[in-house]
Amino acid sequence: MTAMTTNVQGQLEIGGVSTGELTAAYGTPLMVYDEDMIRRNARAFRESFIESGLEFQVAYASKAFMCKEMVRLAEEENLSLDVVSGGELYTALEAGFPAGRIHFHGNNKSEEELVMALEAGIGCFVVDSFLELELLHELAKEREQQVNILLRVTPGVEAHTHDYIMTGQDDSKFGFGISTGQADRAMQIALCKPHYNVLGIHSHIGSQIFELDGFQQAITVLSDFLQSVRLECEVTLPVLNIGGGFGVRYTEEDKPLPISEYVKAITDCVKESFGENGYPLPEVWVEPGRSIVAEAGTTLYKVGSKKIIPDVRTYVSVDGGMTDNLRPALYGAKYHAVLANRPNEECTELVSIAGKCCESGDMLIWDLKLPPVNFGDTLAVFSTGAYGYSMANNYNRIPRPAVVFVKDGESRVVIERETYADLVRLDR
């Protein structure tokens, strides 16, 4: 959640721009990103790794929020890029991102997507299934290309998070299980394929994780796995990718660690586990998405109708909802909000914030304390920067909002507001 700043008129301000100015210029709903905060988060990852002394790559997980300008920012901050679809890959290439720093994920990459990535000459494929292991190699052979791969493995670790965003357990659609022996078999196949340059392994245990023990347990399992590969196959693989998943603050209840502490715990654990096995210290790759962009994003909505049900509840409706932020409906995710035009006024009303979709479940926040709220007020919902716009949709044919970056008192559009004409563009 962004530390709140107000200007002399008593309005909420983001990146030195008043929210009143932003809504007047761009309308609502509006997604506003504090560009400096994104850059600070990116730098915090890189600086903490530099301090660890280990070789590393920080790949921004573009699924959290992607547009061409975000890709350019990632490039400027020396990040690599994790993509999971042809669409994300296309966006990265269109923005001129260096292909050699792109990593391609996904449990069901299509042949077309694999070809597109081969032709672009991307840096690394994270191979997720036996099918892909064969298919990618065939395609690389046809093109007489050598490709770098990591094998995605599931270490059997259950992260403390929502079931839908937990990925490291044995019962997962992703990767090769270590405990089932599938990871071992996949590795032996991969190492025999002449067009593969096997760099190492990848694991991602889940998302919005606060505790360090899940990462530490995973690293121990992964380190033992790499050691067994070393002993059985006589290869010392140099890369360990431990994915993303670092938690952020949505409400006061969330207590994430600073980025530097996540990185320190990971790099310390790598040094210890690999050191104990006498394994040369690997290059450590991470893939943060949420922790780079979530808290940098704020959504501004205009308040519309208010329904007071005496002794039950007051519903305050806004001009967006599950179309621009699916997370409350999908995961029961919690958010905090203030009135952007009167953020310092005393909160005397208890209200629930409803979206405008034809769906009772389209609620953004239950039981929020606000000053007496009226038609025309602006509601600012904090920490909406990750998996908000990227999961936005056109339910009820509602156009997706505009997205702006703000910095040093200036704002600029990075994604235009969708128009009604855009909505019918593909209709025949």
**Which residue ranges are tagged as binding site?**
245, 287-290, 327, 331, 359, 387
Rounded to whole angstroms, what are the CA distances from 198 to 85, 149, 186, 235?
21, 5, 11, 10
Cβ atoms of 113 and 135 within 8 Å: the answer is no
Cα separation, 401 vs 102, in Å, equals 28
Pick the closer one to ligand LLP by CB: 15 or 388: 388
Q: Under the criterion CB under 6 A, does residue 165 sit at the interface with ligand LLP? A: yes
Tell me how far, at minimum, the Cβ of 122 lies from ligand LLP, in Å.
Answer: 15
Pick the closer one to ligand LLP by CB: 165 or 281: 165
Tell me how far, at minimum, the Cβ of 173 lies from ligand LLP, in Å.
Answer: 11
Task: Give residues 1-60 in contact with ligand LLP (rule: CB under 6 A).
Answer: none
- Residues belonging to the binding site for pyridoxal 5'-phosphate are 245, 287-290, 387
**Tokens 């919902």 found at:** 381
238 SS3 class = coil
Cα separation, 149 vs 146, in Å, equals 10
Give catalytic status of residue 358 as yes or no. Answer: yes
Tell me how far, at minimum, the Cβ of 83 lies from ligand LLP, in Å.
Answer: 10
Rounded to whole angstroms, what are the CA distances from 155 to 91, 133, 174, 244?
31, 19, 11, 15
Pick the closer one to ligand LLP by CB: 204 or 302: 204
Pick the closer one to ligand LLP by CB: 105 or 109: 105
Tell me how far, at minimum, the Cβ of 45 lies from ligand LLP, in Å.
Answer: 11
Cα separation, 140 vs 86, in Å, equals 17
Rounded to whole angstroms, what are the CA distances from 125 to 108, 119, 187, 289?
12, 13, 14, 18
**CB-CB neighbours of 233 under 10 Å:** 16
Among 103, 193, 327, 356, binds ligand LLP (CB under 6 A): 327
Among 289, 328, 343, 385, binds ligand LLP (CB under 6 A): 289
Tokens of 137: 């190699």
**Tokens 């069901």 found at:** 108
Q: Under the criterion CB under 6 A, does residue 93 sit at the interface with ligand LLP? A: no
Pick the closer one to ligand LLP by CB: 370 or 386: 386
Q: Under the criterion CB under 6 A, does residue 204 sit at the interface with ligand LLP? A: yes
End-to-end CA distance of the chain: 43
Q: Under the criterion CB under 6 A, does residue 356 sit at the interface with ligand LLP? A: no
Rounded to whole angstroms, what are the CA distances from 170 to 150, 209, 383?
19, 18, 31
Q: Under the criterion CB under 6 A, does residue 106 sit at the interface with ligand LLP? A: no
Pick the closer one to ligand LLP by CB: 81 or 340: 81
Among 11, 48, 129, 207, binds ligand LLP (CB under 6 A): 207
346 SS3 class = coil
Q: Under the criterion CB under 6 A, does residue 109 sit at the interface with ligand LLP? A: no
Cβ atoms of 238 and 283 within 8 Å: the answer is yes
Among 12, 14, 64, 73, binds ligand LLP (CB under 6 A): 64
Residues serving a catalytic function are 358
| Sites of contact with ligand LLP (CB under 6 A) | 61, 64, 82, 105, 165, 204, 207-208, 243-246, 287-291, 327, 331, 386-387
